[in-house]
Amino acid sequence: MTREITLSKAVNEAIAEEMRRDPTVFLIGEDVAEAGTPFKVLSGLVEEFGTDRVIDTPISEPGFMGIAVGAAMTGSRPIVDLMFGDFLYLVMDQLCNQAAKTHYMSGGKLKVPLVLRTNMGATRRSAAQHSQSLQAIVAHIPGLKVAMPSSAYEAKGLMKTAIRDDNPVVIFEDKLMYQDKAPVPEEEYLIPFGEAKIKRDGRDITLVATSSMVQVAEEAATTLAAEGISAEVIDPRTIVPLDEQTIINSVRKTSRAIVIDEGHQSYGVTAEIAARINEKAFYHLDAPVIRMGAMDVPVPFSPALEDLTVPTAEGVVENARKICRGELVHAA
């Protein structure tokens, strides 16, 4: 049976199911218990699991991140709730120097099975310190896996897989999508890491998009279809590991690609995927691969400015149209 539920509910269900299944799983973070987080994603969990397993912390991100690493090394499977993705900068030592490297530094003796769930995404008028999409920074660190659900369905399946993974996994949820509904089976399912999903088949151009940018790409594909341009939309679902093969196969077929992600464009996820396409499908390319990331500026507050910084469906359509017609997006 499948019903439509919100992304928020899907995350909540995934965590609840895994906590019922495995008593070593617990939640830790700021205002996760009675408050259920500011986005209310975790509402109701403390009633079922108690404050022993849904643990409110002081506002001490490095502290509870470090505690989660130690707990993970000693038989627990913590889920760390980081209220805003921007706070990743506060936990970098514990996440990148400790969690990510422990398995390697110990020659495989110690494991750190933890999930860090946090969020991303601009256009909530939250300005530069509550709007960032920092997935590229985390994806750069060997030892961390990174998942980016694009709908309620993905959010649930990826969360369950993350909780069962024996490694540190960072999940970025787009905070604008918490109320978006999608069909989600009532039966249990998991989504394996490293398996992209072809959201739409196409022949003329490949749109690789992450998280909420999948919606942007699908909207663009609909517009393009009306103009006779057939766009294939691919959602990698995890950027570490990346299902390179599905992307490469698609580009070999379509000969053109645009990569869309809401992180800053420079040195970002779009750059990485574009580079891999270039390396592995070069002789199939009939146009330069186009990156579409967030503008390389801190996220501004004013709506008039903020909306200019993120990739839009119109922008994707415009670029797709140009490269399918053989026009230039950038200099020849």
Partner 1 sequence: MSAAKNKHNTEDYLRMYKQMVRIRAFEDNANQLYLSAKMPGLTHMYSGQEAVAVGICEALTDEDRITSTHRGHGHCVAKGADFKAMFCELLGKAEGYCRGKGGSMHIADQSHGNLGANAIVGGSMGIATGAALSAKRLGKDFVTVCFFGDGATAQGLWYEVMNMAALWKLPVIYACENNGYSEYTKTEEIAAGSLTARAEAFGIEAFDVDGQDVLAVNELTRQLTERCRNGEGPFFIELDTYRYHGHHVGDINRDYYRSKGEEAEWKTVRDPITNFGKWLIDQKIMTADELVVIDNEISADAQAAVEYALKARYPDGSEVDMHVFAGVDHALEYLGGAR
Partner 2 sequence: MPHDVIMPALGMAQDTGHLLAWHKKPGEAVEAGDILFEVETDKAAMEVEAQSNGYLTDVTVEAGVDVPVGQTIAVISETPDGASRNPAPPAPDVAPEEPAGIEGNQVIMPALGMAQDTGLIISWAKKPGEPVSADDVLLEVETDKAAMEVPAGFDGYVAGIFAEAGENVPVGDVIAVISAERPVSPVSHSAIRSNGEAPEEPTPSASAKATPPPAVVPKVEKPSPTVASVSGKILASPKAKRLAREQGLDLERLVKIGARQPYHVADLETLKSQPAETAPVPSTATAASRRVTAEVDATELISLLTWLSSELGHPVRRETVLAVFAAAALRAVGAAELVIKTEARGISRVYLDPDSAGLGHAKPIETDVAPSLIVRDLCGTAVSSVQLGGELTPVLSVLGRGETLFITCECPSDTLSGETTLALANGFAERVADPLRQLL
The residues that are catalytic are: 61, 130
Q: How far is the CB of 114 from partner 1 (least distance, A)?
A: 9
Q: How far is the CB of 43 from partner 2 (least distance, A)?
A: 52
Q: Which amino acid is at 273?
A: I
Q: How far is the CB of 167 from partner 1 (least distance, A)?
A: 5
Please identify, using beta-carbon distances, which residue of 130 and 164 lies nearer to partner 1. 164
Please identify, using beta-carbon distances, which residue of 176 and 251 lies nearer to partner 2. 251
In the chain, helix, strand, coil percent, each to 5? 40, 20, 40
Please identify, using beta-carbon distances, which residue of 164 and 252 lies nearer to partner 2. 252
Q: Tokens for 93?
A: 């030592």
Cα torsion angle, 8, 11, 14, 20, sign: negative
Query: 285 touches which of partner 2, partner 1, none (CB within 5 to 8 A by kind)?
Result: partner 2
Query: Using CA atoms, how far apart are residues 19 and 53, in angstroms rounded to an integer?
Result: 9
Q: Which residues bind partner 1 (CB under 8 A)?
A: 23-24, 26, 52-53, 55, 57-58, 60, 62-76, 78, 93-94, 97-98, 102-111, 113, 142-143, 145, 165-167, 192-195, 240-246
Residue that the structure tokens 């099975």 belong to = 113
Query: 9 touches which of partner 1, partner 2, none (CB within 5 to 8 A by kind)?
Result: none
Q: Which residues bind partner 2 (CB under 8 A)?
A: 255, 282-287, 326, 328, 332
- Give the 3-state DSSP-derived string for 188-204, with helices as H, strands as E and coil as C: CCCCCCCCCEEEECCCC
Please identify, using beta-carbon distances, which residue of 2 and 97 lies nearer to partner 1. 97
Q: Which amino acid is at 229?
A: I
Query: 58 touches which of partner 2, partner 1, none (CB within 5 to 8 A by kind)?
Result: partner 1
In what helix (H) or strand (E) does residue 59 lie, and over which residues does it extend?
A: none
CA neighbor of 42 nearest in space, from 95, 117, 124: 117
Q: How far is the CB of 105 from partner 2 (least distance, A)?
A: 22
Characterize the bridge pairing of strands 115-120 and 77-81: parallel
Query: 111 touches which of partner 1, partner 2, none (CB within 5 to 8 A by kind)?
Result: partner 1
Q: How far is the CB of 94 from partner 1 (least distance, A)?
A: 6
Query: 115 touches which of partner 2, partner 1, none (CB within 5 to 8 A by kind)?
Result: none
Quick check: 175 and 121 in contact, CB under 8 A?
yes
Query: Using CA atoms, how far apart are residues 50 and 110, in angstroms rounded to an integer?
Result: 29
